[in-house]
Amino acid sequence: MAIVARYFIGVGYAFATTHSCLLFLEYMEIHQLRYFCAVAKTGNFTRAAEREHVAQPSLSQQILKLEDELGARLFDRLGRKALLTPFGAAFLSRAQRVLREVSEAKFEIQEMGGVDRGSLVLGTIPTIAPYFLPARLAQFARQHPGVQVTVVEDITPVLLTRLHEGKIDLTLLALPVPGDELISTELKREALYAVLPERHALAARKSIGLQEIESEPFLLLKDGHCFRETAIAACRRARLRPNVIFESGHFATILAMVSTGIGVSIVPQMAVEKRAGCRFVPLKDDRSYRRIGLVYLKNHFQTRAQRAFVEHLKRG
């Protein structure tokens, strides 16, 4: 039975561990912490049970045992909703840390035992994944057939949350990403391009300034996608406020709309492709570029598989 050894949450009782984790007041089982975090994440006992592949009554019973151990109610049960109490909110970050450190301890033991096979979970954003990863993942798989790489695609805030929760090992994002607890390694920089309908008056130009298309209707990624902020920052440097008439979560949709002549857009170099109806023209602004890099937690132990993958991306 997996036990967390007397982890304490509170004031005044701290015991040293290799990861400086505070100890809880009573013995509790690892799966109780997993169930608690799942309910906190989903806000619902039924969905949490489905996520953890356990019967809902069993999960509820374990949460009650955990609350009894702590002597505090962790959730307010409001119909089908489960909302964290102040005690639950205080407990959540500690529980996530314990789960992350137990997982990392397992990896450390495997490394010490000379385990050559491994796995890693990479988080990345939709404006990078389909362009940057396929060839690199295929090459890595040929060189390291014993390593399984799982890719999670989402927007940056969601990926950073999962990174802190220990659900992913490292992230491939647009830089910079703020946070003293994070390490960022730049992999490449790429220029920005204006995307114009092929019959646009400026489509044959070798480069253009954004001021030249200030009056055009713009098609941009929607809020939540970090490249939208990169595009807006480029417009801001050009002292223009784009007239955004269409928003999407995918470059492919935006390019399809530009090809019909509806408007113009801005994309990074890796999204430049041969597409009927579109012309890609570099921006004149030397500061209009996107930085791409790996981001991971400072205190995250990297397995040999993870280190090999990081070095592979650095070389590629």
Residue 312: pLDDT band with limits 50, 70, 90:
very high
pLDDT value of position 12 = 30
**CA 251/CA 129 separation, integer angstroms:** 12
Residues 53-75: tens digit of each pLDDT: 999 999 999 999 999 989 999 99
Per-residue pLDDT of 205-214, as tens digits, reads 999 999 999 9
In degrees and rounded to multiples of 5, residue 127 shows phi and psi of -85, 0
- Report yes or no: 217 and 195 within 8 Å, Cβ to Cβ: no
Same domain, 53 and 139: no
Looking at the structure, do residues 213 and 263 belong to the same domain, yes or no? Answer: yes
pLDDT at position 166 is: 87
49 with 129, same domain: the answer is no
The stretch 211-231 carries a mean pLDDT of 94
- Residues 147, 144: Cα–Cα separation, whole Å: 6
* Pair (284, 205) in one structural domain: yes
Could you tell me if 206 and 60 lie in one domain?
A: no
Task: Report d(CA 167, CA 266) in Å as an integer.
Answer: 33
- Range of lowest pLDDT (57-71, 170-184, 186-200, 301-315): 301-315
Mean of all residue pLDDT scores within the chain = 87
CATH number at residue 41: 1.10.10.10
Examine the domain organization and report whether 99 and 33 are in the same domain.
yes
pLDDT at 116: 57
The boundaries of the domain holding residue 34 are: 3-112
The count of structural domains within the chain is 3
Of 163, 285, 273, nearest in space to 231 by CA:
285
157: CATH: 3.40.190.10
> Do residues 208 and 271 share a domain?
yes
User: Would you say the pTM of this structure is higher than 0.75?
Assistant: no
> Are 79 and 161 within one domain?
no
Maximum alpha-carbon separation in the chain = 72
Range scoring the smallest mean pLDDT among 105-109, 114-118, 246-250: 114-118
Domain boundary pick from 85, 112, 139: 112
Single out the residue in 55, 81, 112 at which a domain terminates.
Answer: 112
Average pLDDT over residues 257-282: 96
Do 58 and 194 lie in one domain? The reply is no
Last residue of a domain, one of 80, 112, 144: 112
Q: What is the DSSP string of the chain?
A: --EE---B-SSS-----TT-PPPBSS-EEHHHHHHHHHHHHHS-HHHHHHHHTS-HHHHHHHHHHHHHHHTS--EEEETTEEEE-HHHHHHHHHHHHHHHHHHHHHHHHHHHTT---EEEEEEE-TTTHHHHHHHHHHHHHHH-TTEEEEEEE--HHHHHHHHHHTS-SEEEEEEP---TTEEEEEEEEEEEEEEEETTSTTTT-S-B-GGGGTTSEEEEEPTT-HHHHHHHHHHHHTT---EEEEEES-HHHHHHHHHTTS-BEEEEGGG----TTEEEEEBS-TT-EEEEEEEEETTPPPPHHHHHHHHHHHH-
pLDDT tier for residue 97 given thresholds of 50, 70 and 90: confident
Pair (92, 225) in one structural domain: no
Q: What is the pLDDT of residue 111?
A: 61
Q: Are residues 176 and 297 in the same domain?
A: yes
One domain, residues 304 and 246: no
Kindly list the distances between the CA atom of residue 196 and the CA atoms of 244, 263, 278, in Å, as whole numbers in the listed order: 15, 7, 6
- Of 12 and 141, the structure prediction assigns the larger pLDDT to 141
Using left for φ > 0, alpha for ψ between -120 and 50, and beta otherwise, residue 125 falls in beta
| Nearest alpha carbon to residue 120 among 137, 96, 102 | 137
